[in-house]
């Protein structure tokens, strides 16, 4: 009897217990078991977004592939997930057709659920997103003429209770996972149609933000209200978290998402491991491949973790300073009661990799009659020079929200403050407010979700889907 020849479409790396399409297999299909850091979904499948190549290989091996095949398939799948941005295993054309159903049955390619998408009059986009277990958080995309910055959240809610920040009025629900953090970047690339050789164009049905983000009108910020001061977020300055680097390498290919700032909901250093793991995926040269010089991590001053962030993540550092005296910072940034200004500035001086070419950014919200005097500006200069910090200062006009106890400093006062710092040789641009009309500006995140009930958001989503039918 002639030996049976193997079908050319049959993948020899598949485990023998794989069910054959069109047949009923009474043998239970092996499922991915427990791998460190990996929790299956309720349906038993494992979401691959947020996993490294090593973790993907581990879950493949646990699901039945031998070690060599698992490593090979993990490398292929990692490329399709993070470099190509596919959301369907059937799109992975270098993987045998017979293996794709095997992957689909055991694994999942997730994205955060979009609950609501809003577009500001200045082109800023804000998404209200929902985790698989039903918790809401937000991300913001800020387009400029020469760059696009994605503001990424690290937690659902926050514990820091900064008095000027609306997010600080929320309770902390939980940390976001690496997949939920990197998923924000991937979702933004979906919306912008920016995966390599992608046929996808920006969506026009509103589900990913509405409209074509490549319209020139959506790429320009509002006119600055602080003439005479250094202005950030206008023309070539963009969001100057890293203005010193040549933009040509990042915009020559027409890419819109060029920068990431960990300045959304939550304190990134209180979710250190997940933020680190997510940003390593973003920086992986085989995946999203965004330079660490394009990423800024903001902290309110969790001093014990700052050096570790520099060593293990290595991205740009921004510090939410906001005051230069103990009494005022104790009031508006309560973490100061635990880690004082001097301790914080010494941690900045010790931050690995800081230099004149890679300055630390100090965020400073301008609050009327609270932290905006000439004396405050001079003390800020003194502190920066005392600790010999390679630094720049972003002055942020306070963005109002209902119930806030503060007002924004006047444009004249902000100009004066900026001039004092600038004349001392320290860059002090004024950040142009972006997305205020959709509560997407600094300190306003989650406001719109707080104003609407879950039932109302669900109703709006249903109406939008019905309109598309």
pLDDT tens-digit map of 7-24: 445 455 555 444 433 333
Is residue 118 located within the same domain as residue 104?
Answer: no
Q: Let me know if 442 is a catalytic residue.
A: yes
Take residue 366 and report the two structure tokens written for it: 């301008």
Task: State residue 433's pLDDT score.
Answer: 65
DSSP assignment of 46-110 equals: EE-TT--HHHHHHHHHHTT--HHHHHHHHHHHHIIIIII----GGG-TTS-TTHHHHHHHHEE--
For residues 184 and 23, which has the higher predicted lDDT (pLDDT)?
Answer: 184
For residue 349, is pLDDT > 90? yes
Task: State residue 43's pLDDT score.
Answer: 86
Is residue 312 located within the same domain as residue 246?
Answer: yes
Most confident of 75-84, 135-144, 240-249: 75-84
Most confident of 168-177, 214-223, 296-305: 296-305
For residue 262, is pLDDT > 90? yes
Location of structure tokens 């910020």:
221
Task: State residue 256's pLDDT score.
Answer: 83
- Over range 123-129, report the average pLDDT: 91
Q: Dmax over Cα atoms in the chain, in whole Å? A: 96
Task: State residue 3's pLDDT score.
Answer: 43
Residue 421 resides in a domain:
yes
Task: State residue 202's pLDDT score.
Answer: 45
CB 164 within 8 A of CB 219: no
Cα separations in angstroms, 302 against 126, 164, 313, 433 = 27, 18, 15, 26
Instruction: List, for residues 283-327, the tens digit of each pLDDT value.
Output: 999 999 999 999 999 999 999 999 999 999 999 999 999 999 999
Is residue 32 located within the same domain as residue 74?
Answer: yes
Is residue 103 located within the same domain as residue 207?
Answer: no
pLDDT band for 414, please (50, 70, 90 cuts). very high
CB 29 within 8 A of CB 17: yes
Domain range spanning residue 99?
12-110
Task: State residue 456's pLDDT score.
Answer: 55
Residue 468 resides in a domain:
no
- Over range 227-239, report the average pLDDT: 43
Task: State residue 229's pLDDT score.
Answer: 54
- Over range 59-81, report the average pLDDT: 96
Is residue 147 located within the same domain as residue 101?
Answer: no
d(CA 196, CA 84) in angstroms, rounded, equals 6
Task: State residue 446's pLDDT score.
Answer: 52
Residue 42 resides in a domain:
yes
Location of structure tokens 């941005």:
85
Cut 0.85: pTM above it: no
Task: State residue 385's pLDDT score.
Answer: 98
- Over range 139-157, report the average pLDDT: 92
For residues 34 and 464, which has the higher predicted lDDT (pLDDT)?
Answer: 34
What SS3 state is found at 90? helix
Task: State residue 308's pLDDT score.
Answer: 97
For residue 42, is pLDDT > 50? yes
For residue 143, is pLDDT > 60? yes
Percent of the chain with pLDDT over 70: 71
Instruction: List, for residues 94-108, the tens digit of each pLDDT value.
Output: 999 999 999 999 999
Is residue 164 located within the same domain as residue 194?
Answer: yes
What SS3 state is found at 391? strand
Q: Which candidate in 158, 162, 408, 442 is catalytic? A: 442
Task: State residue 443's pLDDT score.
Answer: 44
Is residue 106 located within the same domain as residue 120?
Answer: no
Which of 110, 131, 151 is a domain's end point? Answer: 110
What's the mean pLDDT when you consider all of the chain?
A: 80
| CATH number of the domain bearing residue 266 | 3.20.20.70
Task: State residue 462's pLDDT score.
Answer: 61
Listed range (37-51, 203-217, 362-376) with the worst mean pLDDT = 203-217
pLDDT band for 38, please (50, 70, 90 cuts). confident
Which of 88, 110, 132 is a domain's end point? Answer: 110
Total number of domains constituting the chain: 2
Which of 45, 77, 110 is a domain's end point? Answer: 110
For residue 389, is pLDDT > 50? yes
Q: Let me know if 138 is a catalytic residue.
A: yes
Q: Which candidate in 61, 138, 180, 267 is catalytic? A: 138
For residue 220, is pLDDT > 70? no
Task: State residue 266's pLDDT score.
Answer: 93
| CATH number of the domain bearing residue 80 | 1.10.150.530
- Over range 408-430, report the average pLDDT: 96
């Amino acid at each position: 009897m002639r030996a049976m020849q193997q079908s050319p479409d049959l993948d020899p790396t598949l485990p023998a217990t794989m069910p054959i399409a069109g047949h009923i297999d009474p043998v239970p299909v092996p499922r991915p078991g427990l791998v460190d850091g990996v929790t299956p979904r309720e349906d038993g499948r494992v979401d691959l977004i947020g996993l490294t190549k090593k973790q993907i290989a581990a879950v493949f091996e646990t699901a039945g592939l031998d070690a060599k095949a698992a490593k090979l398939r993990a490398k292929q799948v990692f490329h399709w997930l993070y470099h190509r941005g596919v959301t369907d295993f059937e799109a992975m054309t270098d993987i045998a057709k017979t293996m794709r159903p095997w992957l689909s049955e055991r694994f999942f390619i997730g994205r955060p659920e979009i609950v609501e998408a809003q577009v500001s009059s200045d082109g800023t986009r804000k998404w209200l997103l929902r985790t698989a277990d039903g918790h809401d958080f937000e991300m913001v995309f800020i387009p400029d003429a020469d760059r696009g910055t994605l503001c990424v959240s690290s937690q659902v809610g926050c514990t820091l209770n900064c008095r000027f920040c609306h997010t600080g009025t929320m309770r902390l629900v939980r940390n976001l996972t690496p997949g939920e953090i990197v998923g924000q970047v991937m979702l933004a690339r979906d919306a912008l149609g920016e995966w390599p050789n992608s046929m996808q164009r920006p969506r026009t049905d509103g589900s990913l933000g509405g409209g074509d983000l490549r319209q020139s009108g959506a790429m320009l910020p509002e006119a600055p209200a602080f003439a005479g001061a250094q202005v950030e977020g206008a023309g070539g300055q963009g969001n100057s978290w890293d203005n010193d680097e040549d933009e040509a390498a990042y915009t020559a290919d027409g890419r819109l998402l060029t920068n990431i700032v960990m300045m959304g909901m939550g304190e990134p250093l209180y979710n250190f491991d997940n933020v680190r793991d997510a940003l390593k995926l973003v920086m992986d040269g085989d995946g999203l491949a965004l330079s660490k010089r394009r990423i800024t991590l903001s902290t309110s001053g969790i001093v014990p973790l700052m050096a570790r962030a520099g060593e293990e993540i290595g991205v740009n550092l921004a510090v939410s300073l906001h005051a230069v005296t103990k009494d005022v910072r104790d009031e508006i940034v309560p973490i100061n009661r635990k880690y004082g200004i001097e301790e914080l500035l010494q941690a900045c001086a010790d931050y690995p990799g800081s230099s004149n070419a890679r300055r630390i950014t100090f965020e400073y919200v301008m609050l009327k009659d609270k932290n905006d005097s000439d004396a405050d500006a001079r003390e800020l200069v003194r502190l920066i020079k005392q600790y010999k910090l390679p630094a720049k200062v972003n002055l942020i006009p306070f963005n109002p929200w209902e119930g806030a106890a503060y007002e924004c400093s006047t444009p004249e006062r902000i100009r004066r403050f900026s001039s004092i710092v600038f004349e001392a040789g320290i860059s002090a641009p004024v950040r142009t407010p972006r997305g205020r009309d959709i509560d997407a500006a600094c300190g306003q995140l989650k406001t719109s979700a707080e104003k609407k009930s879950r039932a109302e958001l669900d109703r709006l989503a249903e109406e939008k889907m019905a309109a598309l039918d």
